[in-house]
Structure 1
Amino acid sequence: MIQNFDPIGIAARNLKECLLLQARFMTPRNELVEKIIEAHMVELEKHNIPSIAKTLNEPIEKVVEAQKIIHEFEPRPGSIFTESETQYITPDIYINKVGAQYVISMNDDGIPRLRVSNYYKSIVQKEAAANKEAGTPGGGQAKEYVQDKLRAAMWLIRSIQNRQKTIFKVTEAILARQKDFFEKGTQHLKPMVLKDIAADVGMHESTISRVTTNKYVHTPVGTFELKYFFNSSISAGDGGEALASSAVKERIKQVITREDPKKPLSDQQIVDLLLKENIDIARRTVAKYREMLGLLPSSKRKRAF
């Protein structure tokens, strides 16, 4: 009954049910749209249209049309009642685990598919052929103009392709260094700086910085900006392997989340607890990380209960 209320999808239990409710209220109903939502959301998310078409034995054109309809549905129908606009992130790279291996794939949907027009190529070729036949070398201003623009177009296309290749190589290098993170989670993130990846891929640090800014990767453990993986190091108390600052922040967050609300831990107590785990960190650093996490000091946490 509640699921019949407007806006359609408002009482759905998950995204799939939300989209399916909207599909069923279409006039006329579209059976293909409903089938895709019911059984092929993963392929749809990856824009794997050929796979969906093959499985459902439908023409690719019909699946593309169904995809367009689904994209018009509202994934958060309750958002019309809120004033703030949610910012969605579309990953630029996907890291998926296939068997025991991790596979990297680029999301090229946001990349313009550019190619040089055959029309302008033919202008240069025809003029060159005409000049050869007439026995006159070179060409006129029109030919030089078109050739100049063709070179600029080819340079732009190569630049876009090279940028994608660079992002792929950088992601490969990050994956190789942070394998434990992808296997076990945030607490296993290792210290890593731009210089490390620059050395791995044979590029300048500034290049690594540019291609990791505002670039997001979807992984089995969540979606992260590529810059997230660059961390300063925190020394281990027993002289062992250093820890990434993000991993230490995550541990501090866990400690505070699990503490007795009637007896919250002071920053010094957190320092002592972490030292038992071979994490050597100063009290002021704990306070700094706690504030960065948006967590109150112990005195104010105690008053909150």
Structure 2
Amino acid sequence: MNFNMTLTQEQKLVMTQQMQLSVKLLQMSSNELLEYINKEYAENPVIDANYEKDLEEVKMQDKYDYKEMIKYFEFDNYGNQSFGSYDQDEVSPFTFISTEKTLKDFLLEQIMELSIDEFQRTICKYIIESLDARGYLDISLEDILEELNISQEVGEEALELVQSLEPTGIGARNLIECLEIQLTKRGYGNEKLYTIVEEHLEDIAENRYAQIAKALNVTPKEAQEYGDIIKTLEPKPSRGFYTGEEVKFIIPDATIRKIDGEYFIIMNEGVLPKLSINPMYKEILNGSKDNLARDYVKQKINGAMFLIKSIEQRKSTLYRVLEKILEKQKEYFDKGENYLKPMTLKEISEALDVHESTVSRAIRDKFILIDRGTIKIKDLFTTGIAGDNGEEDINTIKIKNEIKKLVDSESKEKPLSDQNICNELNNNGFNISRRTVAKYREEMGIKSSSKRKRF
């Protein structure tokens, strides 16, 4: 064994932290970028952020002065005030704080209204707290009996009480029980419905009503009618209730508007706060004799300057991409989605003389506002197929719309097969294969002809 030195030469890309940050900011959505700026603003003291406030917010601040609100903190019971007087000067701002009602809140309110003793109510509350996000009881009743040290009879009675609450189907231990609870509450007494739920749910999903009919000794049409009733039931009782997650609204990064016959790209400047460097720190940098303080401020100013520059570069890159999209898709903005031309990331990247990945990052999770509403920029990039002229001039959205029209107008007793749809499209000038039809149909969530058939 020995030590020696060798000299090698190689090419590789080394990304500095600043380059990594620039790439990271480019692919952020508006919401993500706003969160990132808020974090940097909190951590970097040299950054000044001008958050333009909404007019209504300013009015509320005039109405409830912050200094006036402080006095309410002098009490232990500041949020629990008397409603005897409605004088504006005496109303606590905490009176107006409200929260979304969750499914468990809704169920607990119903339990409080039941005429049961406190012992039963406590067991019911325990069961409610044990429900999963769907509203199912996903732990066994035996485990609950053991944990609470109660009898089988008491536990089943409490579970029955929970299952009697709204929304119907709550507290079920599986899908079958959930659907059966709903059938019972709706007053369906036909045993065939319960048999289908217990033994033929998969057949309903696959539209195999001939098999169900044979098993129940009914006609396929009757079996399908039973299936239609079961499809009206809710497999997820918690649907529609607040889950604890805040709704994040889509913020368009830009607006494309037609003014006097010409399209303009208007970047949404109001989404993000306007960042600048606090002048006090510039004075420290120029006048302080403390080297440590100067180095610290210099580091923070460099970080702030690069953040501001990266945000501007992100905006500039997105604007240039939108310019090229507008040039390519002018007919789409004029006439609608049927006129969307096939367009790829490579096409735009070559026109801008940038890497394809740069365009991909620039449009990631970005939205624009147009006359027809808010759209995702990525949805404007589609592949195409050859038309009658042999060129790739027909976009996939147009083909999907044609497939949907054919399916919507078909005979429900004899739905069109993929081959029939393919033949119709080719007769109308589309050069498309049966496999492509099947692919697009599945992407749109349209079932196959055998599963669309009505008896």
Task: Tell me the TM-score normalized by structure 2.
Answer: 0.46
Q: Aligned residue for 1:203?
A: 354
Q: Which amino acid aligns with 1:206?
A: S
Aligned partners of 2:329 and 2:340 also within 8 Å: yes
Cα distance, 1:202 vs structure 2: 2.3
Confirm or deny: 8 A CA contact 1:92 1:106 kept in the other structure: yes
In structure 2, distance between residues paired with 1:284 and 1:248: 13
Q: 1:88 to 1:61 in 2, by over 3 A?
A: closer
In structure 1, what is the equivalent of residue 390 of structure 2?
239
Q: Distance in 1 between matches of 2:370 and 2:336?
A: 11
Extract unaligned runs of 5+ from structure 1.
Answer: 1-59, 73-79, 131-138
**Counterparts of 1:122 and 1:95 in 2: how far apart (Å)?**
42
Establish whether residue 299 from structure 1 lines up as the match of residue 299 from structure 2.
no
Q: Which has the larger radius of gyration?
A: 2
Give 1:207 shift: 0.8
| Structure with more contact order per residue of length (Cα contacts < 8 Å, sep ≥ 6) | 2
Confirm or deny: 8 A CA contact 1:91 1:223 kept in the other structure. yes
Which of 275, 278, 283 matches 1:117? Answer: 278
C-alpha displacement of 1:67: 9.8
Paired residues, number: 229
Within the candidate set 217, 220, 232, 2:371 is matched to: 220
Contact 1:233–1:245, Cα closer than 8 Å, also in 2: yes
SS at match of 1:280: coil
1:140 aligns with 2:291: yes
Deviation at 1:285, TM superposition (A): 0.8
Alpha-carbon spacing, 1:149–1:95, altered in 2? closer, same or farther (3 Å): same
Distance change (3 Å), C-alpha of 1:141 and 1:219: same
CA distance in 2, matches of 1:295, 1:149: 55
| Residues 1:181 and 2:181 aligned together | no
- Inter-partner Cα distance in structure 2 for 1:291 and 1:150: 53
Judging changes above 3 Å, is the alpha-carbon distance between structure 1 residues 98 and 84 closer, same or farther for their aligned structure 2 residues?
farther
Aligned partners of 1:211, 1:67: CA distance in 2, in Å?
Answer: 38
> 2: CA distance between counterparts of 1:255 and 1:148?
64
Q: What is the aligned partner in structure 2 of residue 160 from structure 1?
A: 311
**1:161-186 CA-partner distances (Å, limit 9, x unpaired):** 11011111111111111111111111
Q: Distance in 2 between matches of 1:173 and 1:120?
A: 41
Aligned-partner SS, 1:83? coil
SS at structure 2 position matched to 1:234: strand
Root-mean-square deviation (CA, aligned residues, Å) is: 3.1
Structure 1 CA distance for aligned equivalents of residues 417 and 269 of structure 2: 48
Separation in 1, partners of 2:251, 2:448: 36
Match of 1:101 in 2: 262
Aligned partner of 1:11 in structure 2 is: none
Give the deviation of 1:64 after TM superposition.
Answer: 5.7
Residues 194 and 205, structure 1, Cα contact 8 Å, conserved in 2: yes
For 1:242, what is the secondary structure of its paired residue?
Answer: strand
Distance 2:396 2:402 in 1: 10
Residue by residue, what CA displacement relative to the aligned partner does 1:215-237 show, whole Å, maximum 9, x if unpaired? Answer: 01111123221111111121114
Deviates more, 1:115-124 or 1:247-256: 247-256
- Residues 198 and 266 of structure 1, relative CA distance in 2, 3 Å threshold: same
Please tell me whether the aligned partners of residues 186 and 250 of structure 1 are also in contact (alpha carbons under 8 angstroms).
no
1:287 aligned residue (420, 431, 438) = 438
Determine if contact 1:237/1:275 at 8 Å carries over to the other structure: no
Q: Which residue matches 1:48? A: none
Question: What secondary structure, in the 3-state scheme, does the structure 2 residue paired with 1:281 have?
Answer: coil
- Which whole-Å CA distance do the structure 2 matches of 1:209 and 1:163 have between them? 13
Q: 1:84 to 1:274 in 2, by over 3 A?
A: farther
* Aligned-pair CA distance for 1:144: 2.9
Q: Are residues 84 and 141 of structure 1, via their aligned partners in 2, closer, same or farther at CA, if it must alter by over 3 Å?
A: closer
Letter in 1 for 2:273: P
Percent identity, please. 38
CA pair 266-164 structure 1, distance change in 2 beyond 3 A: same
* 2:277–2:301 contact (8 Å) kept in structure 1: yes
Please point out which of 231, 241, 245 is paired with 1:83: 241
Counterpart Cα distance in 2 of 1:62 and 1:240: 53
Task: Identify which range, 249-258 or 158-167, moves more after superposition.
Answer: 249-258
CA distance in 2, matches of 1:176, 1:203: 17
Q: Secondary structure at the match of 1:114?
A: strand
> 1:160 deviation in Å?
0.5
Q: 1:237 to 1:299 in 2, by over 3 A?
A: farther
Task: Give the partner amino acid of 1:205.
Answer: E
Local SS of the residue matching 1:103: strand
Q: Distance in 1 between matches of 2:423 and 2:60?
A: 55
Within 2, Cα distance between the matches of 1:143 and 1:120? Answer: 9
Per-residue Cα deviation, 1:47-74 (whole angstroms, up to 9, x for no partner): xxxxxxxxxxxxx9856646999xx9xx
Letter of the 2:383 partner, please give it. Answer: S
Which residue number in structure 2 is paired with residue 270 of structure 1? 421
Residue 240 of structure 1: CA displacement? 4.1
Q: Mind listing any 5+ residue stretches in structure 2 that lack a counterpart?
A: 1-52, 64-95, 97-105, 107-238
